């Protein structure tokens, strides 16, 4: 009987310890319950935790697809330019505000090529987000890279629930801005013409 009670106490303490550790992981990393349990399982199983930002396959896939679109000659110019970069290379990871991002600096010939490059890069990134079990929602913004005087595509993504909420707000704001900028202002003189 004593052995049974000790066993029950051991099981109870194990379950409580598990939930305490999961809660600490959630607080420490900002992830949700499911992500915290996955991190704990990877740690216990001894599996290395690969980082999205360090995945060479992602970077290679992005550049391979860019080369297919812009051609070998223009791609080689990007490679040569990248080899001269001391600080931020043409493809780098960072954080802006509460969201992580991937930034890809590249030239494009026209709006059509710009859109194709954006879509190809986004498709590659979404495939890798799925591999890492991140949400595939992304926010793509073209900016100017002033140190090189060239366009830069910044893709923001979310790694956990808190970042996902911030990203959803940013996506809604971008869609609202696009809708507002595409709407036509009402001409007040049209009402006057109808009254006459």
By the 10 Å C-beta count (0-12 exposed, 13-18 middle, 19+ buried), 37 is classed as middle
What pLDDT tens digit does each residue of the chain (196 aa) get? Answer: 788 888 889 899 989 988 888 888 878 777 677 777 777 777 777 655 567 888 888 999 999 999 999 999 999 998 888 888 777 789 999 998 889 999 999 999 999 999 999 999 999 999 999 888 889 999 999 999 888 889 999 999 998 888 999 999 999 998 888 777 776 555 555 555 555 4
Confidence at residue 42, expressed as pLDDT on a 0 to 100 scale:
73
Cβ pair 152, 143 in contact under 8 A: yes
Residue ranges with strand state E in 1-121: 91-96, 99-105
Confidence at residue 46, expressed as pLDDT on a 0 to 100 scale:
66
Confidence at residue 185, expressed as pLDDT on a 0 to 100 scale:
57
Q: What is the model's pTM?
A: 0.67
Q: What angle do CA 50, 119, 93 make, to 5 degrees?
A: 35
CA dihedral 82, 60, 170, 147 (to 10 degrees): 0
Phi and psi (nearest 5°) for 192?
-65, -40
Confidence at residue 178, expressed as pLDDT on a 0 to 100 scale:
77
Confidence at residue 187, expressed as pLDDT on a 0 to 100 scale:
54
Nearest to residue 124, comparing CAs of 60, 50, 168? 60
Confidence at residue 53, expressed as pLDDT on a 0 to 100 scale:
84
Confidence at residue 24, expressed as pLDDT on a 0 to 100 scale:
87
Q: In what order do the strands lie in the sheet with 150-156?
A: 91-96, 99-105, 150-156, 139-145
């Amino acid at each position: 009987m004593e052995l049974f009670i000790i066993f029950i106490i051991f099981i109870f303490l194990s379950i409580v310890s598990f939930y305490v550790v999961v809660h600490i992981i959630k607080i420490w990393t900002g992830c949700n319950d499911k992500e915290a349990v996955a991190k704990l399982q990877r740690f216990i199983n001894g599996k290395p935790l690969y980082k999205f930002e360090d995945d060479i396959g992602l970077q290679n896939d992005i550049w391979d697809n860019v080369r297919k679109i812009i051609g070998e000659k223009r791609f080689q110019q990007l490679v040569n330019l990248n080899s001269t970069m001391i600080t931020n290379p043409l493809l780098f990871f960072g954080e802006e505000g509460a969201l992580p991002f991937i930034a890809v600096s590249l030239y494009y010939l026209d709006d059509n090529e710009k859109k194709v490059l954006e879509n190809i890069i986004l498709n590659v990134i979404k495939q890798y987000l799925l591999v890492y079990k991140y949400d595939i929602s992304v926010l793509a913004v073209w900016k100017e890279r002033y140190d090189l005087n060239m366009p830069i595509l910044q893709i923001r993504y979310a790694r956990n629930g808190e970042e996902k909420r911030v990203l959803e707000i940013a996506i809604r704001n971008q869609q609202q801005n696009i809708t507002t900028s595409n709407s036509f202002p009402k001409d007040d003189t049209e009402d006057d013409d109808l009254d006459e």
